[in-house]
Every structure is written in structure tokens, then in C-alpha cells.
Amino acid sequence: MLSKLKRILQKADADYADIRYEIKKETFITLDGKELSNIGSTTTDGYVVRVLKNCGFTSVSFTKEDDAEKALKTAQENAVLLGNNIEKPIKLAEVPIIKDTFIPTLKEDPRKISIEEKLNLLMHYNNIPLAHKKIVMTNMGYSETTREKYFISSEGAEIHEVLITTGISGSIISKDGNLTQNVRVGAGGSDGFYTVRELDDKFEKRTKIAIDLLSAEPVKAGVYDCILNQSLAGVFAHEAFGHFSEADIVESLPAMRKKMQIGNKLGNNVLSIIDNATILNQLGFYKYDDEGVAVREVKLLTNGVLTGRLHSRRTAHEFGEPISGHCVAEDYRFAPIIRMGTIYIEPQDKTLEQLMEELGDGLYILNAKGGQTSGENFTFGAQYGFIVKNGKKEKMVRDINISGNLYQTLQDITAVGNDLKLSKTGGCGKGQTNIRSCHGAPHILMKNVVLGGV
Amino acid sequence: MEKLLNMARKVCDQAEIYYCEPTSSEVMFQKGELHDIESQFQSGMALRIIKDGKLGFSYTKNLIDREEFIQNALDSLKGGVQAPYDFPHTSELPTLKTYNEHINEVTSSSMVENCTRITEIFIKNTDAEIEIVAYKEVLNQRIINSQGTDVHSKIGSTGYWLSLVYPGGGAGISRVYEEKIPFSVSRNILDNLVKMYNDSSKVVTIPGGKMKILFMPGSMYTLLWRLHSGTSAKSIYEEISPIKKDIGTQIVSEAITFYNDPLDDEVPGARSFDDEGVPTKKMNIIEKGVLKNFFYDINYAQKLSKQSTGHGYRASMWGGDTITMKPTPRLAHPRIAPGEKSFEELVAMMDKGIILDGVMGAHSGNIPNGDYSVGVSPGLYVEKGEIVGRVKDVMVAGNVYDTLKKVVAIENKLHTCWGGRMPAILCDSISVSSK
């Protein structure tokens, strides 16, 4: 395959060119309630070429090998057009030229497990919630995605990397009268099928939450001090802060870029945030990004001070900052963009009990339910929460959506727990989906949080 | 494709091939400067087979080995997905004008030129961080099945996404304009956007409480997703729709007529058949506040002993490659009927309230129940009929069925927006929380 790609790339008339060919194999099973609605395995593939010419840098994705020349020609024409219309020439940061093959070591290779066994396991988990009268529906899925990537650049890089992501995820829907509630459940990872085994306990717990939510009260809109559990704090790290550590986003927002200078004090002293996709056995793990750069750990925020940023080769040069290996594509349809790998808030020394005591009166809110950012503003949902009085957990509340301002919130995180947990399911949609998006945190205490209520 | 179909029908009772070939190019401007140009030449096909009442499915980007492709579908039969239905026999369809040769005049160069013109106007008249995307897409689709259906369509569209972002805030005034032929955005439209941006540049602080909200087309998907969930045959079958027993009942204000109009070929994207080859039609979901119809694909229609209404589409909430998805019920061309007021008249009707020009977090919250709780992105604050600035750290929350009972007035025209074509809708007494 690599030699075929070399032949295609030889025809490029450019200062730099690369090509990625990718075979994507997916196995999927979907259950809607007791019904099996989807099952199968399938393979798709395609190419992406990128060209730097006349100081312009563009990409074309294509499906058919016969389209390779047309794709290169289009990319070159577009690069020239781009170069003619920009003031500052695009350059790529220098990187070590890598020739390597990376095949992950798996504990139980999911590809060797029969689809019957996968279906039985999914049905087993699915039956846990469905055994309860108040659970009216589940949407449960098994997914297994293998990205087999081949990357060649005109600088001499030759990389073959395989990434296999396994996951079970879905939602449990409870109903009482006209009120429906839903709770998400899921697990998975990058290093084998074992990551979706032994989830009975998790399904039992989530089922109970879905049922309990039917008698929980909607939270009253207002401003609260909150403790966020690990999943929710991880989403904060990803949504509110993480996206602005991505150089391509900050680059498009000049006022934000000014505030997000390396060395600027942005957050409370207790707050340190790291992206580290090199941690083995985590969902977010990978070795090389989709422009052939080895990923490395980046300390993004250290004791409240901005210390690093996530880059592509283009932005690393543009910012004059070190390359980080975070330019990743969803699949063969896309040119890579800057993505987080495994982003997490570094743990400190407080136990959850100490945080509760420090909170006094407020809310303890748990588990993420989608989030979004728009510049310095963010919003995300929590699946459920508890009212806390005098440091004691009281009744359950539902319909929790919070909103805030990044800079203010970074200051308002006043205490960080000692119980770091990393997520086992991903899914970040920044134009493309990243199923390996992994985040985590310990429990954190956040002051002055706006809640929307219903 | 015919050869593949012939091979497939020899090993199963029914077969269907869906072919899709999108070609697109996109020009992106950031900070008032050309930033990137991207192109795609994609194609692929999906195979559905029915054998002994069971469904098999496979898809591919490159049809290298027909036998393997069919074998993949046969293998998936083992899973036992029930399919006690037939693929449709569609013979006659209305002719829609979905493709105009002139779209070929849209080139990367012409898109760069048009974006440059818009950028210059914005730079001259605002302090905004300007983002503009121009695009062109041509989509070829064909569906053939063993019942004799052979339908195809070619759809061309070109458009602009314009955004004037308040410095530092990330939120901004954003609009989409789309046509079937080359066009440029009129000076009048650009001037109105500039005025709206400048009028709202000042940040104002407001107390929370109940107030009027003007849902702009750009934030309407918040309500649309919830209506979609409530009226989809899937939710009806799964018994999670709060309005599943309400056909014939008044569920929202009589000012609201919510319908699907796939045959409207004045705008890009019209379809005479859905992704299963079933003919489409204009259909009211809610007529003058009364719930009239749910929408069905073949699969859920069969489960509920109904007929498909031509709403089987291969799509998800978050996009994805269409060939990889099986059809599910979807409103691909939703509209809310226009009312009688101009945008200016709607604003003049607001003593105090927020123009919800965009939102964050529409996907969070309890969608099946109709609940929403979204951050404003941006929210323009109105006092005594005038925009006085914009609010930050503010959330707007409610339940779609309750919100649409409080309609005060509806704009007299539809705008292309994410998910459909919508007017602005003014509602009263909506919950707003603020710091």
C-alpha cells in the first residue's frame, strides 16, 4: 500500500504533499428496547491528499483511486489560489521524519470475537434496565471501529498505524405518566474487548438513577455553588477550556488569542490541566497524528497559568510554538484538524467529603449530558444532581443545564479533589466526530454557576 | 449497479441499492482573510436485502468485489433484524427542478471573490471577528430495488455562511443563504446584519425572570429537534412521545402550522422520493395548533400498521456518511408557516425581552420530553422595541409544547437555517436565568 501511495504522490507538483489512505472497518449492533434494529460488519476506504504550494495549503478527499490525479490537480490549483489571496505565507513546522508501523497490543482482540458473542453481551446488559417496569425504552449500541491508516509525505514520512476502538453505549429511558427521563450509560476503550466486559453493576446503577429521576424535582433556575463529579468536570475541561487550547480555534478569534497567551494567568492556583494522549490503555491513546507527528504530553494550564497549546504543523509554525501531534481526522473523508487527545484536570489533595464541607450549601451535579462552547461562553447538561445543605447530600434534582464564562469559571474553581477518573466513551463533534475524545478530572468545586432550570 | 442488483436478488427475496455521490468544495475566510479551501469527491453505495423476513445490510465506498459486498449483507442476516415489509415499487414521480447547469459557474475563484467583497464590507463597518464560508455541492443519488424501482436525483446548491463574532465572545450574528444557482448576498442584507451587530455590541446585564423571547431562525432548531422527537414514528413506536395520543388535539397555539415540504423546488434540496425510494409529499404535522400527523419510514410504518409517508432518510443528528446509515424517520424539509409581521414589527412588539439569535447546548436536556435549556449565543436584549445590547451568561429554558402555546406573533417570511426553513417566532413569558 505504501508504495502505491508513493506512486500517487510522485505526481505532485508542490513544495510539500502528503497522502493518507485509510481502511475503516466497523462492526455495529443496535438494540431499540428488546428489538434488534441494526447489526453488521462492513468496510469503507478512501484517500486524502494535502498540498503546500505557492504558500497555500489545501486538501482534497476522494474515494476512487482513479480520481487521484484529479484530486492532486484540484488541491494544487486551490493552493495557488489560496497563496495568491493571503498576506502571510503558510509554512509547516519542521518535524522529525518518521518511518514506523504501530499496531496496538490488545487484551482480547475484538475482531476475534464472534458477532454472536457481542450481541449476547449487549442483550445481557440491555435486559438489566428492561427488567424494570418503569423503564420503557433503551437505545443500546455496540460499536467497534478499526482505522487502518497509511501515511506518506513528500518529506519521506512512511507510517502505518492501526487504531481499534471498542465501545458499548446508549440510553435508558424511564417514564411515569407523561414524564420521561433518560440517562446515558457506556464504556469502552482503545485496548481491547475487555473494556466492555463486567458492566452489570454500571447498568444496575444507571437504571436506578433513571427510575429515581422520575420522582426528582426540576432544579430551580438560579446561581449556585456546585460540586461537579469527575465526568462532568472532565466535560468542563474539554468543552470550556480544551477547545481554546486548540490553536486552530484560538487563531480564528483574535481577541481570545490575546487573552490566551502562553504565560498568562487565567485560573485559580489549584487548577492544572493536561492533555496526554500517550497514556497507554486509555480511550484517547494514539501514537501518530494524521500528519505523521508523534503525539506528546502537553501541560496546558499549570497552577492557573497557561503553559501550552495543541497544534498542527501549520499552527505550530504560525504561533511559533512547539509541535504537539494533535492534528487528527475522523476518517478517510476528512483532512485532519486539531483535536484533544486525553484532556484532564490534574488531581489535588481533597477528598469528596472535604469538598462537600467546603461547599456547605449548593448542588452536587453528576455526569455529562452534552456540552457546547461558543467563544468564552459554554453550556452543558448534567444528568442528575443533589441539593447539598451543610455539606450533606439531600434530595435528587433533575433538568440541570449550566452555562458560564470560561475566564470567570477558571477563577471560580476553588478546590480540586484527589480522585481522578478518565472517561471510557468519547464523541466530540468539531465538524468531524472524534470517537476517541477522552477527558477526565477529579471532583471539583465551582462557585457561581448559572443553572437554566426548565 | 444493475449487475449488483441481479446478483443480489439471486440469493435473497428482495434487494435495494442506494448510491450516493457528493462532490463539494468549500472556501473559508477567517479574521477577514482567506483561510482554507477544501474539496471532496466522494461516492459510495449501500445494500439492503430481505430474506425470510430478515434484513441484511452492507455498504462500501469502492465496489471492488461485488460478491464480498453481497456476502457482508448476507452475513448480517444472521443477526435476525426483523423486516416483515417490502421495498416500494415507485414508478412515477413529479419532476423537480433541483439542478441548474449554471451552478458550474461557481468555482473556488468566484467564491473567493464573493467572500472578499462581503469581508470588505464587514471590515469597513464593524469591529467584528469575521468568519465566512462559501460552498458548492452537487449530490447525485440513485435508488434501485428488486421491485422495479429506479429513481435518481441530482441536486445542486451553493451558499454562504456569514458570521460576525463579537470580539472575544465567540458568539456572533450568523446567517445562511443558499440558492441553486450562483448568487451574491445583496448589499441590503449585509447592511442589515451590520446594523444588528452594531446595535448589539454593548454588553448589558439583566435580572432573570419571565420575558418575551424572539426565537430567530438560527435558534429554531432548539424547538425543532423536540417537535421532531415528539412526532417521529420511532418515538411513537417506542412510546416515549408525550403527544402520542394527541392526534386531532390542539397541542400548541393556533398560530403554529408545522409542516414538511420536500417538493418545494424554489429552494435547494427538494426531493421527490426519500432515501428508500418512497414518493414524498407535502404534509402538515401540526395544522393551526392541532396535531395532524406523525411521519413514517417503511420500517416504523409497518410496526405501527401504517403506510410510509416518505420520510425514510439516511441521516443522524450529527451528520455522518449517508451510506453507513439505515433509513430512519426524519423530517428533511421542515417548515413553520409564516405569520404576518415583519422582523422590525416583531421587535417593536417587545417591551422587554431577548432576541435569541443563536443558542448553545440545544442537544443537552430531555429532548423526548420536549424540555430545553440553552445558553444564549448570542442573545440581543430589547427594551421598548429597541435593541439596546446583548446579554451574556444567560440561559433560556422551557418545554416546547408550553413555549409554542405562548406565541405572540410570527414573522412573515421563511429563512434557510440549520434543519429547515423557519420564520422568527415571538413567544411570551419564557423563563430566563442570569447571573
Local structure of residue B70 (DSSP, 8 states): H
Give A349 to chain B, closest Cα distance, Å. Answer: 30
Give B393 to chain A, closest Cα distance, Å. Answer: 5
Q: Does B78 touch chain A (CB under 8 A)?
A: yes
Q: Between chains, do A381 and B170 touch, taking CB under 8 Å as contact?
A: no
pTM of the model: 0.90
Q: Between chains, do A41 and B75 touch, taking CB under 8 Å as contact?
A: yes
- Is it the case that residue A453 has pLDDT exceeding 80? no
Between chain A and chain B, the number of residue pairs with CB atoms below 8 A apart is 277
At residue A158, φ and ψ (nearest 5 deg) are: -145, 105
Question: Is residue B404 within 8 Å of B420, Cβ to Cβ?
Answer: no
Q: Which residues contact B66 (CB under 8 A, 6 or more apart)?
A: B3, B4, B7
Q: Between chains, do A372 and B318 touch, taking CB under 8 Å as contact?
A: no
Residue bearing cell 435558534: B219
Pair A9, A21 in one domain: yes
**CA dist., res. B205 & res. A204, Å (int):** 45
Interface list for A 282-301 with B (CB within 8 A): none
Pair A233, A360 in one domain: yes
**CA dist., res. B12 & res. B48, Å (int):** 10
| Segment holding A303, helix H or strand E | none
**CA dist., res. B268 & res. B99, Å (int):** 8
Q: Which residue of A has its CA nearest to B129?
A: A253
* pLDDT on residue B46: 95
Q: Between chains, do B393 and A405 touch, taking CB under 8 Å as contact?
A: yes
Q: Between chains, do A403 and B238 touch, taking CB under 8 Å as contact?
A: no
Give B332 to chain A, closest Cα distance, Å. Answer: 20
Interface list for A 176-195 with B (CB within 8 A): 178-182
A199's grid cell: 458492566
Phi-psi sector, A132: left (phi>0), alpha (psi -120 to 50), beta? beta
Question: Is residue B276 within 8 Å of B88, Cβ to Cβ?
Answer: yes
Which has the closest alpha carbon to B381: B196, B189, B221, B219? B196
Pair A81, A197 in one domain: yes
Q: Does A412 touch chain B (CB under 8 A)?
A: no
Residues in A touching B127 (Cβ below 8 Å): none
Q: Between chains, do A377 and B81 touch, taking CB under 8 Å as contact?
A: no
Residues in A touching B393 (Cβ below 8 Å): 377, 403-405, 450
Which has the closest alpha carbon to B138: B54, B61, B25? B25
Q: Does B22 touch chain A (CB under 8 A)?
A: no
Q: Between chains, do A58 and B30 touch, taking CB under 8 Å as contact?
A: no
Question: Considering its fold, how many domains does chain A have in total?
Answer: 2
Q: Does A49 touch chain B (CB under 8 A)?
A: no
Local structure of residue A88 (DSSP, 8 states): S
**CA dist., res. A336 & res. A54, Å (int):** 21
Q: Does B34 touch chain A (CB under 8 A)?
A: yes
Buried b (16+ CB within 10 A) or exposed e, A369-399: bbbbbbbbbbbbbbbbbbbbeeeeeeebbbb
Interface list for A 56-95 with B (CB within 8 A): 56-65, 67, 70-71, 74-75, 77-79, 81-82, 85-87
Q: Please give the ipTM for the structure prediction.
A: 0.84
Q: Does B131 touch chain A (CB under 8 A)?
A: yes
Dmax (CA) for chain A in angstroms is: 71
Choose among B169, B365, B434: nearest Cβ to A376.
Answer: B169
Q: Which candidate in A67, A73, A403 is best for mutational testing of the B interface (most B CBs within 10 A)?
A: A403
Q: Does A53 touch chain B (CB under 8 A)?
A: no
Pair A184, A223 in one domain: no
Q: Between chains, do B37 and A78 touch, taking CB under 8 Å as contact?
A: yes
Residues in B touching A452 (Cβ below 8 Å): 373-375, 395-397, 431, 433
- Is it the case that residue A377 has pLDDT exceeding 70? yes
**CA dist., res. A238 & res. B171, Å (int):** 18
Q: Which residue of A has its CA nearest to B83?
A: A37
Interface list for B 339-398 with A (CB within 8 A): 358, 360-366, 368-369, 371, 373-375, 377, 392-398
Q: What percentage of chain A has pLDDT greater than the value 70?
A: 100
**Segment A78-119, tens digit of pLDDT:** 999 999 999 899 999 999 999 999 999 999 999 999 999 999
**Segment A145-196, tens digit of pLDDT:** 999 999 999 999 999 999 999 999 999 999 998 888 999 999 999 999 999 9
**CA dist., res. A371 & res. A375, Å (int):** 13
Local structure of residue A240 (DSSP, 8 states): I
List the Cα angle A266/A271/A275 in 5-degree steps.
95
Pair A252, A205 in one domain: no
Sheet strands (E) in B92-196: 129-145, 150-165, 172-179
* pLDDT on residue A8: 94
Pair A160, A36 in one domain: yes
Pair A210, A301 in one domain: no
What mean pLDDT comes out for the span A208-213?
97
B211's grid cell: 420575558
**CA dist., res. B237 & res. A35, Å (int):** 11
**CA dist., res. A382 & res. A404, Å (int):** 14
Pair A201, A268 in one domain: no
* pLDDT on residue B314: 94
* pLDDT on residue B434: 86
Give B326 to chain A, closest Cα distance, Å. Answer: 8
- Side-chain-side CA neighbours of A289 within 13 Å: the count stands at 26
* pLDDT on residue A347: 98
What mean pLDDT comes out for the span A335-347?
97
The residue type of B313 is Y
* pLDDT on residue B172: 93
**CA dist., res. B235 & res. B331, Å (int):** 13
Between strands A56-62 and B33-41, the pairing is parallel
A256's grid cell: 481570545
Q: Which residue of B has its CA nearest to A370?
A: B364
How many helices (H) and strands (E) chain A has is answered by 10, 25
Q: Which residue of B has its CA nearest to A37?
A: B81
Q: Which CATH class is domain B2-195?
A: alpha beta
Interface list for B 142-171 with A (CB within 8 A): 165-171
**CA dist., res. B324 & res. B47, Å (int):** 10
Pair A316, A423 in one domain: yes
- Is it the case that residue A454 has pLDDT exceeding 70? no
The residue type of B176 is V
**Segment A51-67, tens digit of pLDDT:** 999 999 999 999 999 99
**CA dist., res. B27 & res. A58, Å (int):** 10
Residue bearing cell 432576541: B355
3-state helix, strand, coil in chain A (%, to 5): 25, 45, 30
Local structure of residue B330 (DSSP, 8 states): -
Q: Does A145 touch chain B (CB under 8 A)?
A: no
Q: Between chains, do B60 and A43 touch, taking CB under 8 Å as contact?
A: yes
The residue among A181, A215, A249 that closes a domain is A215
Q: Does B58 touch chain A (CB under 8 A)?
A: yes
**Segment A385-423, tens digit of pLDDT:** 999 999 999 999 998 988 888 999 999 999 999 999 999
For position A79, which CATH number holds?
3.30.2290.10
Which has the closest alpha carbon to A164: A145, A179, A150, A186? A145
Which has the closest alpha carbon to A20: A190, A156, A148, A128? A148
- Is it the case that residue A34 has pLDDT exceeding 70? yes
Q: Between chains, do A222 and B58 touch, taking CB under 8 Å as contact?
A: no
Q: Does B208 touch chain A (CB under 8 A)?
A: yes
Compute CA distances A437 → A23, A45, A285, B82, B130, whole Å. 20, 22, 9, 34, 29
* pLDDT on residue A380: 84
Domain that holds residue A106: 2-215
A367's grid cell: 455526569
Q: Between chains, do A377 and B31 touch, taking CB under 8 Å as contact?
A: no
Per-residue pLDDT of chain B (435 residues; tens, 9 = 90+): 999 999 999 999 999 999 999 999 999 999 889 999 999 999 999 999 999 999 999 999 887 788 989 998 998 888 889 999 999 999 999 999 999 999 999 999 999 999 999 999 999 999 999 999 999 999 999 999 999 999 999 999 999 999 999 987 678 999 999 999 999 999 999 999 999 999 999 999 999 999 999 999 999 999 999 999 999 999 999 999 999 999 999 999 999 999 999 999 999 999 999 999 999 999 999 999 999 999 999 999 999 999 999 999 998 766 678 888 899 999 999 999 999 999 999 999 999 999 999 999 888 778 999 999 999 999 999 999 999 999 988 999 999 999 999 999 999 999 999 889 999 999 999 999 987
Q: Which residue of A has its CA nearest to B432?
A: A452
| Segment holding A157, helix H or strand E | none
| Segment holding B404, helix H or strand E | none
Residues in B touching A78 (Cβ below 8 Å): 25, 37-39, 108
**Domain residue ranges of chain B, discontinuous segments joined by +:** 2-195, 202-222+338-434, 223-336
The residue among A215, A231, A252 that closes a domain is A215
Pair A40, A75 in one domain: yes
Residues in A touching B44 (Cβ below 8 Å): 44, 63
Between strands A99-102 and A158-176, the pairing is parallel
Q: Which residue of A has its CA nearest to B46?
A: A42
**CA dist., res. A180 & res. B409, Å (int):** 30
What mean pLDDT comes out for the span A122-141?
97
Question: Is residue B323 within 8 Å of B59, Cβ to Cβ?
Answer: yes
10 Å CB burial of residue A401 (0-12, 13-18, 19+) is: buried
